[in-house]
Structure 1
């Protein structure tokens, strides 16, 4: 599936590069990750898990990438290819739990947007994610299950100010990229993304 998505994106970039009403540019920004539910395994046949912390400690990551916008009849399609690094931190004084790790991934959002008024626009669409590396410590987590390919949803709004653009978006992962249990605890971690993304973009081309 991930190879199919990458192939389709590459073909799209090639085929529309000669079309009209195409914008191309670069982007970068900060990611504030709230992802990673920490749950406690309950004993004596109770419900399997009970959430004790919703989300890891908030930590900032970053992203850099390329984007293209195809402007159509009153709306646009904007595929992106972005390298993202997310930082996660889990801490609990009651169990002396203190774990930090980074997740590095390639994001491919395919966004559908519309101009609202003036430079303001809104957008939404799926985000396909390929995990390139998660540097969790296997001496800290047991029963690890990983998934290199996951899917999420992005919703956001932005402003176009000449060749510059600014936007803010929320991303929620539908599937988990890491699932496991911290050693010497009864805590289980679900590391699917849940983040606020602030982006700054620059358009290379003149508008046609």
Structure 2
């Protein structure tokens, strides 16, 4: 009787293990480095030509959750929820109401909740992935000089972006390298009473290199 019971338990465990292994859904965590290469476009007025400013960006980071649904023929869908931060400063010229021009720096620190939904194809241990990224800013993070009231651009409430890249799976470990960009600008310019930059557009682009671990696989 005892032997039959043990055999039954072993059979159930083996069956459950087989179901778990065949599960099409995976879930895990991830974190990584963001290499920021954003630029800035602005004008003093509609009559002026657009100006592009060189940027001084700093590396950022991302951390979050990743899931994966395996489909037939090696295809997959990978949604994620990620907190990310990038920062940088841009040399700009601010123009006062009296026409006085001042050299200054526009400082940007972007904090986002990002929801990429990627579609990919996996062969062997390599994945090719691409898809939209839905981006939501967490705060207003731009200012010029010491007085934020002078120029206070605001981040858009929602930005549509995209990601594309390649990944490698080593057991439960995942390694990804992606290019990330936006279909729309991330800032709406707000004019102050004295100084302003008109037509402000911030184009954010970055490379994300991340490592993850699949808890459920």
With structure 1 as the length reference, what TM-score do the two structures score? 0.76
Kindly report the root-mean-square deviation, in angstroms, between the aligned alpha carbons of the 2 structures: 2.6
Secondary structure at the counterpart of residue 206 of structure 2? strand
Matched ranges for 1:37-186 at <5 A: 37-41=40-44, 45=47, 49-53=49-53, 56-73=55-72, 74-91=74-91, 95-116=102-123, 118-137=124-143, 138-141=148-151, 144=153, 146-180=155-189, 184=195
8 Å CA contact retained: 1:62, 1:85 = yes
**Deviation for aligned residue 1:187:** 6.5
Runs of 4+ in 1 over 6 A off after TM superposition: none
Distance 1:49 1:169 in 2: 33
Structure index of larger Rg? 2
Secondary structure, in 3 states, of the residue corresponding to 2:184? coil
User: Offset of 1:172 from its aligned partner?
Assistant: 1.0
Aligned length: 182
Contact 2:39 / 2:52 at 8 angstroms: preserved in 1? Answer: no
How far does residue 106 in structure 1 lie from its aligned partner after superposition? 0.5
Q: 1:107 to 1:68 in 2, by over 3 A?
A: same
TM-score normalised by length of structure 2: 0.73
Q: Which segments of 5 or more consecutive residues in structure 1 lack a partner in the other structure?
A: 1-18
8 Å CA contact 1:177–1:191 kept in 2: the answer is: yes
The yes-or-no answer on 1:28 pairing with 2:69 is: no
Once residues 78 and 84 of structure 2 are traced to their aligned partners in structure 1, the CA distance between those partners, rounded to angstroms, is 18
CA contact (8 A) 2:137 2:155 kept: no
Which consecutive unaligned segments of at least 5 residues does structure 2 have? 1-21, 94-100
